[in-house]
Structure 1
Amino acid sequence: MANRIQITSRYDGTIRKINYEVDDMAAVGAPLMDIEVDDHDDPTADDKKASSPSTEEIEPAGLGEPLERPNAVAEQITPTSTPDPVMQHQSQPPSTPAAPKNHGTLLPSVRHLLKQHNINLSEVTGTGKGGRVLKEDVQKHLAAKSLSHDSRGIQQSHTTTPPEDVIVPLTPVQNQMYQSMTQSLSIPHFLYTQTVNVTELTSLRKQFLDNPKASAQLTASGAKKLSPLPFIVKALSQAVTKYPMLNSSLVHESGEKPRLALKGSHNIGIAMDTPKGLVVPVIEDVQGHSIISLAAEIERLSALAREGRLSPDSMKGATMLVSNIGSIGGQVVAPIIMSPMVMILAVGRSQKVPVFEVGEHGKKELVEKEQVVFSWSADHRVLDGATVARCAEEMAFWLENVNMLGLSLV
């Protein structure tokens, strides 16, 4: 004879469905029967008495739906005298639209979840037997509802009012640059670039700074450092001495034919980046300066530019321009000519590269060299490419043989 076990239910109600026959093996976690309870029963009782046996559905992984049971069990528990209207209604095939879902056939945990989140049962699609709503169905409904709400929030954030544009006046420096660059639009620019070996220049600078007497001479002149820029400015002055057309300005007065004014002085403007914008102070009579005096003058003008104390007269009268853009970055640029000048030179950032050269025994050797790219822009109305190229090669000669440049210093 089989053992008999009595299980006490935590709920008062009417048994509407038994899911197993006698001697059937019940699956762990599957409901044994369905009990219809009153609405006033406490739906949270399953949380308070979790250790007591009950008919509440326990849902381990892979067991989310009650097992099917034969119809004979339902017939055994149905009174023979008075048919149950609920069971009759379920046994008849529906000829009209499905009736609303009944809260009474739900497990208490499902009813509690619906009530906790204020969810209408008709909104949830059941996946259990006969369309029964399970706990997983409610959880999926909540997740879908939350995702829909987040999507609406993202859409609303994309439709927020964009920030308004702000109109600000040009600074005095920007206004001057606007006028100068507008005039330059009429100039047909010719661009020429060349790579210059500055390995010897770097070595000479190091030797000069390591020499106590030379360093003392530099300090006495008012300079704190010896950068490549004074050498570049001096080499440019030496080159245009041989090719004076690059140190000129275009004169085009109303009613007269255009003329070219060859300048006697080498007044070289140095483009400098400052907190207030680009300024171009001018070093006058570069042809009469030494390397050390050029270093001191460049430092003096640079300090005035940073402090915003450059006078208008210190930025007038340039016959050539040099832009040391390499101090910030970049190697090859296309500098813009400022009228009435006919050329501008931009100096790129130096870099060390491997170069093949012929050794003592006539064999090629791979050596490290320091190189800089010089970018020339010239007014093609008065300067042809050959003249610019020859002047550029002349300047490169002085920089690559910087010891010879020292012989020409004043």
Structure 2
Amino acid sequence: MARFSFRLPDIGEGISEAEIVAWHVAVGDRVEEDGRLADMMTDKATVEMESPVAGTVVELAGEPGDQVAIGATLVVIETEAEVVQPAEPERVEAENPGVEEVATSSVTERQDPPRHGEGDHAQHGGVGAPLDATPADVSQEAAPLHHPAAPDGPTPRSGEDRVLASPAVRARAKDLGIDLSAVHHDGHHIRHADLDAYLRYGSAQGYRAPNASRARPDETVKVIGMRRRIAENMAAAKRHIPHFTYVEEIDVTALEAMRADLNAARGQRPKLTMLPLLIVAICRTLPNFPMLNARYDDEAGVVTRFGSVHLGMAAQTDAGLMVPVIRDAQDLNPWQLATEIVRLAEAARTGKAKSEELSGGTITITSLGPLGGVATTPVINRPEVAIIGPNRIVERPVFRARAGGGEEIVKAKLMNLSISCDHRVVDGHDAASYVQALKRLIETPVLLFAD
């Protein structure tokens, strides 16, 4: 028997350490060659580490949330035969190199295992060393990782047979007692990552035995990975930016009627939601209010006002909030915007968004759709200085002037529009003036297509 020390390789982003997001093995587990070891997260990507050898896990470098230095031992594996240790860690290039500020993309990387006889040129490992030789910031005591108990439930139903999953995923689900038909997934088939998410959060969706208590046990969830990044960025935004929010009610009756007419005659073009039309209105009004389409470097004391609108679009994904950016939104028509919105939302949801698609925004729009509520006070996507939040559309009676004089009560579609601004850069008068200009354009939607 021999011991192989798998050291954390250089992930290829110029970073010195990475965070353990999740272990896929515990001390004592048998791991096969190419088997999953851990998910490691940097500021820019989440990378899956795979075992270059087969054997039994004897030591781990820490717990989820701990930082591990590049080149430090991540896992020690006991093998049945001698394995040549690579001379030094090699770079693992992430095909989705990352996200700045608010969002962090998820990337799965495959490592090629060393082959017997390849000597010091074997790939993706590190110089063999016991765990006590790792840097001081790496946890010295690695305890076995226990998966949380799967939710109690009945024997898997026949419907599970219709769920698409690989044999390895089915075998793992069977070992864990998970009904695949109860596992939420976004793709065409269930992956290991979907099982991991179910183990972490699936208790809220689990089955309940008849006559069992509806109460769920308390749980403590460590804030790690993307959720930790979101928490840090939101806290920094509120700590550094003196926010103020302005809310105005807008009559979108005419805009909704025009949207219905455009969809009826769209042909092969994508169906329009309200969002592309609002983006057109935002882009048309921003040139007169350049202080809103800006970024503030508070350390350098410099405000950069942008001529182009690179509009961030807050998108909720299973991993958390991400903000893909529509580049040069001012040059796109509503149908082009609709296509780009769908494409970017799907890329963010599946973790395939590129770094340039997740950074560099100049102003952000955030919409909860039908869940929009009466009003919102959105948090600014630092270092931007403004964020716009359309809220839910409701129908209410309003007074309108008659053509021949007097007033009448009619049914109107109304929407509150919120805007949060950085008070260091944007005055309240400027924010209110901008929203009033936006309101005039939205309530006279024919102007959206006027030169």
TM-score range, shorter chain: 0.5 to 0.7
Within the candidate set 198, 221, 231, 1:178 is matched to 231
The alignment's C-alpha RMSD in Å is: 1.7
**Looking at CA atoms only, which structure, 1 or 2, has the larger radius of gyration?**
1
Residue 374 of structure 1 deviates from its aligned partner by 0.5
1:295 aligns with 2:305: no
Q: Distance in 1 between matches of 2:397 and 2:221?
A: 50
Amino acid in the other structure paired with 2:228: N
1:319 aligns with 2:362: yes
Residue 339 of structure 1 deviates from its aligned partner by 1.4
The runs of 5 or more residues in structure 1 that have no matched partner are 1-161
- Give the equivalent residue in structure 2 for 1:335: 378
Q: Distance in 1 between matches of 2:256 and 2:221?
A: 47
Deviations along 1:127-181, whole A, 9 cap, x unmatched? xxxxxxxxxxxxxxxxxxxxxxxxxxxxxxxxxxx95643434232x12212211
- Give the equivalent residue in structure 1 for 2:289: 243
Alignment: residue pair count: 235
Q: Are the counterparts in 2 of residues 239 and 392 from structure 1 also a CA contact under 8 Å?
A: no
Percent identity (aligned): 30
Q: Distance in 1 between matches of 2:344 and 2:391?
A: 21
Q: Distance in 1 between matches of 2:355 and 2:436?
A: 34
Q: Are the counterparts in 2 of residues 200 and 401 from structure 1 also a CA contact under 8 Å?
A: yes
Q: Distance in 2 between matches of 1:181 and 1:354?
A: 38
TM-score normalised by the chain length of structure 2: 0.50
- Structure 1 residues 226, 167: CA separation in 2 closer, same or farther (over 3 Å shift)? closer
Q: Are the counterparts in 1 of residues 372 and 390 from structure 2 also a CA contact under 8 Å?
A: no
- Structure 1 residues 246, 355: CA separation in 2 closer, same or farther (over 3 Å shift)? same
Residue 307 of structure 1 deviates from its aligned partner by 2.3
- Give the equivalent residue in structure 1 for 2:411: 368
- Structure 1 residues 186, 169: CA separation in 2 closer, same or farther (over 3 Å shift)? closer
Q: Distance in 2 between matches of 1:163 and 1:203?
A: 49
- Give the equivalent residue in structure 2 for 1:349: 392
Q: Distance in 2 between matches of 1:327 and 1:271?
A: 15
- Please identify runs of 4+ aligned residues in structure 1 that moved more than 6 A: none
Q: Distance in 2 between matches of 1:303 and 1:171?
A: 21
Q: Are the counterparts in 1 of residues 296 and 303 from structure 2 also a CA contact under 8 Å?
A: yes
Residue 403 of structure 1 deviates from its aligned partner by 0.9
Q: Distance in 2 between matches of 1:361 and 1:321?
A: 43
Within the candidate set 193, 203, 210, 2:257 is matched to 203
Q: Flag the structure with higher strand content.
A: 2
Q: Distance in 2 between matches of 1:335 and 1:182?
A: 13
- Give the equivalent residue in structure 1 for 2:435: 392
SS of residue paired to 1:264: coil
- Give the equivalent residue in structure 2 for 1:265: 308
- Structure 1 residues 363, 302: CA separation in 2 closer, same or farther (over 3 Å shift)? same
Q: Distance in 2 between matches of 1:171 and 1:233?
A: 31
SS of residue paired to 2:309: coil
Residue 338 of structure 1 deviates from its aligned partner by 2.0
- Give the equivalent residue in structure 2 for 1:38: none
1:190 aligns with 2:253: no
Amino acid in the other structure paired with 2:449: G
Q: Distance in 2 between matches of 1:351 and 1:200?
A: 14
TM-score normalised by the chain length of structure 1: 0.55
Alignment of 1:111-150 (within 5 A): none
Residue 208 of structure 1 deviates from its aligned partner by 1.3
Residue 320 of structure 1 deviates from its aligned partner by 0.3
Q: Flag the structure with higher helix content.
A: 1
Amino acid in the other structure paired with 2:236: Q
Q: Distance in 1 between matches of 2:218 and 2:367?
A: 37
